[in-house]
Structure 1
Amino acid sequence: MRDRFSETLSFIRIAEARSLSVAARRLGLSLAATSRRLSQLEARLGVPLIRRNSRHLTLTDEGRLFYERAGRALSEMEDAELAVMRSATDAAGTLRVVTTIAFGRRRLGPLLQHYAMLHPDVKVHLETTEQNASIIEGGYDLAICFEPPADSTLTMKRLADNPRVMCAAPSYLDRRGRPQSVADLAMHDQIAIDTGHHKLWRHVKAEDVAPRRTLSTNDGELARIWAIDGAGIVVKTAWDVAEDIEAGRLETILPALPLPSSPIVALYTPAQGDTAKVRNCLRFLADQLRGDRAQPAAAADDRPSVAALGR
């Protein structure tokens, strides 16, 4: 196959130059080697491609046909190589991103819209999902999720920390009272999210005192709606409820109580991490997300993680 490509390339250069000696110089070959490649190609195809005389070379009908088609193929191959090499240095092409529905609508969607404006050669496609999504099977370049999942062959980059807050609707707090200490939580109802939130409540227990678990769900958005409707106290990430707190739909409880932050991470294959569109997007998102809440960002780390999108 390598000899076949070399023969074809030599013929195209000869056809372009209409001279064996000029083609040989452009190819960096001797005149004899260039002539030998042409003879081998003609022997393999079984037809003469070039007419030779003492002054110049001309293409036969078969030579013109082969030049046109092989020339286009070579040009497309060269364009493909340039495009691939460009992807390592210039942000271009389609960037496919997947994340959770709520985060996609509230935070990531506007950020990626801004990123696309800054990089007109990049076409951004954002998908949101309620289910875990495989980057490889889904053909995504990036998955943006919360909570570092278990290890795998994917690379994980920590983009920012998303602080958590305990909150409830003013109507609920007017009815049940506003907790002044952790012990007061025993008199209240808890809205639990079944994604490891039982671990969160360990941080707010005092002598095994915690809110009574009255409602639970695996849907973080439903938990937020329940809280706004006055069903109880919920622990949510700050970005999830920032607008609700600002609008007065929710009210923070025990703001001085330390709660573990929820890391925002990007998952991608090692190969995708070498492309400019992914590298640039990761830098952009890290800068924007860390600046949003003026939270001290943990040092970004790259390590293996899973092919799943966490909630």
Structure 2
Amino acid sequence: MRDRFSEIQSFLKIVEAGSLSEGARRLGLSLAATSRRLTQLETRLGVPLIRRNSRHLTLTDEGAIFFDKAGRALAELDDAEAAVMRTATDASGLLRVVTTIAFGRRRLAPLLHHYAMLHPEVEVHLETAEQAGNIVESGHDIAICFDPQPDSTLIMKRLADNPRVLCASPTYLHRRGRPQHATDLADHDMIVVGSGAQDLWRGIDMGGAAPKRMLSTNDGELARLWAIDGAGVVIKSLWDVSEDLTAGRLETLLPAVSLPASRIAALYLPAQGDTAKVRSCLGFLAKHLGVDSANGRALHAD
């Protein structure tokens, strides 16, 4: 294949140069090597492409057809290479991102909208799912996940911490009272989101006691709605309830209680990290995908 390409390239250079000697000079080859390539090409094709004499080279009919079609083919190949090489330096093309439903709607969608306005050559496609699945199988460029498990086939980039808070609605607190100490939680109803939340509750020092579990679910949005409806105390990610805290639908409890933050991370294939669209998006998200824990408001992209 390499010899075939070299033969075609040599033929085109000879015709463009107008002579074997000038074609050889432009190719950086000897006159003998250049002539040999032309002969090999004509032998492989089974027709003469160039009529030679001591002063001039002229194309045969077959040579004219081959020069036109081969020339256009190599030009398109050059364009293809240039287009692919630009993806390493210029953010462009389709960028496919997948994340969880609630996070996609509440946090990632506005940020990716802003990113798309800053990078008009990038077409952003955001998908949401219960779990950000296998990006190799799904064909996504980036998966935004929470505490993802290590995967030897993927690169993991930490984007931000994900602080958690204890919160409840004003109606619940009016009915049951506001806990003043961690031990007071034993007298309250808890809403548990997923199996991991049980470990979070067990990590709170309640003096050996445990709160009463009233409701549990694997749906974070459902747990949030239960809490707003006054069903009990819930542990939620700050990004998920920041608007509810600002609007007064929920209130934070026991800020002195330390709850471990989870990690928001991006997963992507090693080769994808070399493309400008992925690099620029990850850099943008790492800069802006934060939460102002002092006042409970999501940071705005600037």
TM-score by length of 2: 0.92
The offset of 1:69, in angstroms, is 2.2
Matched residue, 2:177: 177
The offset of 1:73, in angstroms, is 2.1
TM alignment of 1:2-151, pairs within 5 A: 2-151=2-151
Name the aligned partner's letter for residue 196 of structure 2: G
**Contact 2:88–2:274 (Cα < 8 Å) also in 1:** yes
Name the aligned partner's letter for residue 145 of structure 2: C
CA distance in 1 between partners of 2:222 and 2:175 (Å): 22
**Contact 1:203–1:258 (Cα < 8 Å) also in 2:** no
The offset of 1:121, in angstroms, is 2.1
Total equivalences in the alignment: 294
**Contact 1:204–1:210 (Cα < 8 Å) also in 2:** no
Q: What is the alpha-carbon root mean square deviation over aligned residues?
A: 1.7
TM alignment of 1:194-209, pairs within 5 A: 194-209=194-209
**Contact 2:162–2:261 (Cα < 8 Å) also in 1:** yes
**Contact 2:184–2:206 (Cα < 8 Å) also in 1:** no
Q: Secondary structure at the match of 1:244?
A: helix
Greater RCO (CA < 8 Å, at least 6 residues apart):
1
Matched residue, 1:247: 247
C-alpha change, 1:160 and 1:272, in structure 2 (3 Å) is same
TM alignment of 1:186-197, pairs within 5 A: 186-197=186-197
**Contact 1:192–1:217 (Cα < 8 Å) also in 2:** yes
**Contact 1:99–1:127 (Cα < 8 Å) also in 2:** yes
C-alpha change, 1:176 and 1:218, in structure 2 (3 Å) is same
For structure 1, which segment, 267-276 or 35-44, has the greater mean C-alpha deviation from structure 2 after superposition? 267-276
List gaps (5 residues or longer) in structure 2.
295-302
Name the aligned partner's letter for residue 292 of structure 2: R
Matched residue, 1:236: 236
C-alpha change, 1:193 and 1:294, in structure 2 (3 Å) is closer
CA distance in 2 between partners of 1:48 and 1:117 (Å): 56
The offset of 1:163, in angstroms, is 0.8
Name the aligned partner's letter for residue 15 of structure 1: V
Q: State the Cα deviation string for residues 177-229 of structure 1 (Å, max 9, x = none).
A: 11111111112111111141111112223233232112111111111111111
Name the aligned partner's letter for residue 66 of structure 2: F
Q: Secondary structure at the match of 2:270?
A: coil
CA distance in 1 between partners of 2:246 and 2:226 (Å): 18
C-alpha change, 1:140 and 1:220, in structure 2 (3 Å) is same
**Contact 1:115–1:281 (Cα < 8 Å) also in 2:** yes
CA distance in 2 between partners of 1:179 and 1:294 (Å): 21
C-alpha change, 1:136 and 1:151, in structure 2 (3 Å) is closer
CA distance in 2 between partners of 1:7 and 1:147 (Å): 55
The offset of 1:235, in angstroms, is 0.5
The offset of 1:36, in angstroms, is 1.0
Name the aligned partner's letter for residue 157 of structure 1: K
CA distance in 2 between partners of 1:255 and 1:294 (Å): 11
Matched residue, 1:293: 292
CA distance in 2 between partners of 1:138 and 1:195 (Å): 26
List gaps (5 residues or longer) in structure 1.
296-311
Matched residue, 2:220: 220
CA distance in 1 between partners of 2:133 and 2:117 (Å): 27
For structure 1, which segment, 252-261 or 82-91, has the greater mean C-alpha deviation from structure 2 after superposition? 82-91
The offset of 1:294, in angstroms, is 6.6
Name the aligned partner's letter for residue 288 of structure 1: H
**Contact 2:132–2:145 (Cα < 8 Å) also in 1:** no
Matched residue, 1:308: none
Q: Secondary structure at the match of 1:112?
A: helix
Name the aligned partner's letter for residue 180 of structure 2: Q
CA distance in 2 between partners of 1:130 and 1:166 (Å): 23
CA distance in 2 between partners of 1:226 and 1:69 (Å): 69
Matched residue, 1:163: 163
Q: State the Cα deviation string for residues 213-270 of structure 1 (Å, max 9, x = none).
A: 1211111111111111111111111000000110111111112211111211011111
The offset of 1:17, in angstroms, is 2.5
